Chains A and B, each alone.
Chain A
Amino acid sequence: MGFHSPLSRTIAGLGGFVLALFVTELALRQLVPAPAEYGLEAKLSYLAEAGGDFDTIFIGSSRVAYGVDAVAFDEHMAELGAPTRSFNMGVGGMTTVEANQVLSRVLALELPALRTVVLEFGAWDGRIYDRKNALSNRSIGWHTPGNTWQALVALGNTPLPRRQEHPLTWRLGDFVTHFDALARNLFCVGAGPRTVAGLVASEPAWRRDKWLTVADLEERRGFQDLSAIDDEFRVRGHEEFLKRPGKFTRRVAHIPAQIRAQVPLADHHNLQALAAQIGRIEAAGLRPIYFTPPGKLGQPLGRCLHAAGRLPAYLAFDDPERYPELYALESRNDAVHLNGLGAALFAEYLAREFMALPPSSNGSGAALDSVPAAASRANGSKASDAGPESGN
């Protein structure tokens, strides 16, 4: 077929360009590993290789990574008569939207024994707080079209923060950055070197990770005892915390009033995304449980959403009156994170509250929920069919 007119030549050239660009990107995309930062790739690659018998997975930020001792939790669950085998998929700095992407990757693994996904609750904030890392591999990694859309919707719903610049300026800046990250995600910008390094490496990512040791994964199942990490940031945070313990105690004193407050459900910036996330987990035959670890602030929104039926199962540990040991100075590394002792205590509380959860919609209690994911999938329900996300 010949292209004689300039227009037909242009269309043919442009068509060829677009086709080759997208086909090549699609092919390359299959090879791109998860971002390596803070052990994210290591944890996912470990799950893919050795996660066949995990039935419970915790997903969330550093408060999960350093706060949920999976082994201790399993021991307590076994003592309570409902043995579990859990894995800590917490990664420092993980936002609600990124957790959604990690969830997609976990669901895509189709782990046969998986029954419960426990997610740290967040308000689905689409704002960009950390401008320096706004275009990091991790940020680019979660900016799939679906996630970016959810982040943009959330951004649109976010009220103007106090002491911020002009509403249009900051919102526009965040919008542009989200689009930039989306474009980089779509075209796998910059993913080549680490992809090639991963392909030629003789060992899987979890064996060569610098942030997590093999023991962190095999023996502690993703949990890292913050007291044992010799990291400058961690040590400085701990020293600062010990210098001014009164600051933390004063904050904690305000928490009971904070958690009793009634807040509008609209404080959650993307209720649709939350509902879709719950739907995807349930469609995969799993039980979603949301929880708030003990931090320096009270989280009334989770309680209000749970009361309104928007969160099917919610465990709130942000109550110093109910869990005073978790707020004792000796249990904490800093105002936000528990130390090893705190994590051990938290595992016990977590197990107890798990057992106290009401039965899920399929009639069983959380701990005794015996519908394995594989059985549910055998009935025709697939994680990848359930929502806009798919692992990439």
Chain B
Amino acid sequence: MLFVEGRFLLFFLVTFLVHWGLRGNRSRKLWLLACSYFFYGAWDWRFLFLILASTLIDFAVGLGLSRGGTQRAKRRWLGASLLANLGILGFFKYAGFFVAEGARLSNAIGLPCSPATLEIILPVGISFFTFQTMSYTIDVYRGQLAPRRGVGGFLDFALFVGFFPQLVAGPIVRAVTFLPQLDARRLWNSVPLRAALTLFLFGFIKKACVGDQVAQVVDTVFASVGASGALDHWLAISLYTLQIYCDFSGYSDMAIASAALLGYTLPDNFAHPYLARNITDFWRRWHISLSSWFRDYLYIPLGGNRRGRGRTLQNLVLVFLLCGLWHGAAWNFVLWGLFHGLFLVLERLGGRKQLDHHSPPPLQRLPAPLGAVYSLLVVMVGWIIFRAHNMADVARFLLVMVGARTPEAGPPAAGASHAWWLLVLAFASCHYALADGRLKKRLDSLPPAAFGLVLGSATALALFFAATGHTPFIYFQF
């Protein structure tokens, strides 16, 4: 059930009406939990057991941690949680990859090995809810969050893990952000109705009218890298840059808006990332909930930037290596993570601490337009690594782009009409124009009927230009 499908709208309408029709906080939470499990079960009901197991384990760990005891005992509880969560993630997401790569390595060094192929289905959103549950146990371990207890506590925790708006593709919500919202009954008066409806529509437009529409051109060029000219490759990567942003941030917008309509606040996940002035800035704007998760639960515990320059750079590379791996069990994701890690390292080099102030490194001191071009180019090259089927395709793609390789004989990429550049241009203008938030403020200041008129016309146009064969959200696979 995708957010852009009619059946989701129907499902959400029923959920919404019953939710606000119920009076008690507990009955509402029970209803939302049932709806969330229905939503997840609609993908594959068998994985409901997995999410339930993950919920039970971390709830039990929270209870264990709350019993007090020695630091060592607490560490054991935390270790058990990490082992269980990372074990589940590792089995479902990485087992096949590591077994296959292990066998390849073994064969390469002359030790014949042919393990049975592992056919493991990747449960939708496993990386997201696993990171959420881990944030709970870590926060409880650190004493930053009181563990949930009793039946009511379990209900709260289960809803935190399974809350359908963010369940399958984020944003990654921290327990410390979400659980307190469950303590009091949500009030209809506090629902930011206009903002939520506008955000949902924006998300829909991003996903259905941009992301899905450009997918066909992108897929065509990436399916036969090198078969068309340099301009087609530039177009394809420009469109993929749009697609992945519109797809993922569109989903996040709809998730945040859906939660808001039910009275809950989810954290922002994107802040106009393609306007970033450098890669460090990009990661403050792209998938914020993931980058901040890695910062708080990995980078800082590793020492962050407090243990000298060498250790800082080492930590950065490690964190981004794991960030790449989080996206998928494949070498291109690992390389993509390392590629970004490398640029983060480069951006840290050259800075000097002077007597009275800290002079930022050269790559962080670029003038805004130049910085935006620099970071966009780096990000686009990163997306080639991310999207290509293999390393040979990455190299071929880059060579064709810079004109160092002529296209192989064959017809031009189907659908790669240069009219798509107009879409790229339109998107760039909107991306820039919407960054200051003035449009949203103007919408907010409209009288109710005028707001309805604007939203109604925009909805009609969005439906008109929506792609009909929806492709699943790219980030579902992560």
Binding site for B on A (CB under 8 A): 3, 6, 9-10, 12-25, 28, 135, 137, 140, 180, 183-184, 187-193, 195
Q: Are A19 and B453 closer than 8 Å at their CB atoms?
A: yes
CB-CB contacts of B439-466 with A at 8 A, as 1s and 0s? 0000000011111111111011101111
Q: Are A16 and B449 closer than 8 Å at their CB atoms?
A: yes
Q: Are B464 and A192 closer than 8 Å at their CB atoms?
A: yes
Is B242 part of the contact surface with A, judged by Cβ < 8 Å? no
Q: Which residues of A contact B468 (CB under 8 A)?
A: 135, 137, 140, 184, 189-190
Distance between Cα atoms of A3 and B447 in the complex (Å): 8
Q: Are B460 and A20 closer than 8 Å at their CB atoms?
A: yes
Q: Are A17 and B464 closer than 8 Å at their CB atoms?
A: no
Name 9 A/B residue pairs within 8 A (Cβ), A-sorted.
A13-B448, A13-B451, A16-B448, A17-B459, A20-B453, A21-B456, A28-B460, A188-B464, A189-B466
Q: Are B451 and A21 closer than 8 Å at their CB atoms?
A: no
Q: Are A12 and B452 closer than 8 Å at their CB atoms?
A: yes
Distance between Cα atoms of A159 and B277 in the complex (Å): 66
Is B301 part of the contact surface with A, judged by Cβ < 8 Å? no
Distance between Cα atoms of A218 and B231 in the complex (Å): 39
Distance between Cα atoms of A75 and B467 in the complex (Å): 46
Q: Which residues of B contact A14 (CB under 8 A)?
A: 452
Q: Which of A13, A23, A135, A195 is in CB contact (< 8 Å) with B452?
A: A13
Is B213 part of the contact surface with A, judged by Cβ < 8 Å? yes
Is B68 part of the contact surface with A, judged by Cβ < 8 Å? no
Q: Which of B6, B209, B447, B464 is in CB contact (< 8 Å) with A28?
A: B464
Q: Which residues of A contact B448 (CB under 8 A)?
A: 3, 9-10, 12-13, 16
Q: Are A190 and B456 closer than 8 Å at their CB atoms?
A: no
Q: Which residues of B contact A3 (CB under 8 A)?
A: 447-449
- Separation in Å of the A230 CB from the closest CB of chain B? 18
Q: Which residues of A contact B455 (CB under 8 A)?
A: 16-17, 20
Q: Are A180 and B452 closer than 8 Å at their CB atoms?
A: no
Q: Are A18 and B456 closer than 8 Å at their CB atoms?
A: yes
Q: Which residues of A contact B213 (CB under 8 A)?
A: 193
Q: Which residues of B contact A192 (CB under 8 A)?
A: 209, 461, 464-466
- Separation in Å of the B216 CB from the closest CB of chain A? 11
Q: Which of B189, B454, B464 is in CB contact (< 8 Å) with A20?
A: B454
- Separation in Å of the B215 CB from the closest CB of chain A? 13
Q: Which residues of B contact A137 (CB under 8 A)?
A: 468
In chain A, what residue has the closest Cβ to B209? A192
In chain B, what residue has the closest Cβ to A21? B456
Distance between Cα atoms of A20 and B453 in the complex (Å): 5
Chain B residues 1-37 with CB under 8 Å of chain A are 6
Residue from B213, B449, B464 with most neighbouring chain A CB atoms (10 Å): B464
Distance between Cα atoms of A187 and B208 in the complex (Å): 15
Q: Are B465 and A17 closer than 8 Å at their CB atoms?
A: no
Q: Which of B451, B460, B467 is in CB contact (< 8 Å) with A190?
A: B467
Distance between Cα atoms of A191 and B464 in the complex (Å): 5
In chain B, what residue has the closest Cβ to A26? B460
Q: Are B463 and A187 closer than 8 Å at their CB atoms?
A: yes
Distance between Cα atoms of A118 and B441 in the complex (Å): 60
Residue from B451, B456, B467 with most neighbouring chain A CB atoms (10 Å): B456
Q: Which of B209, B452, B465 is in CB contact (< 8 Å) with A16?
A: B452
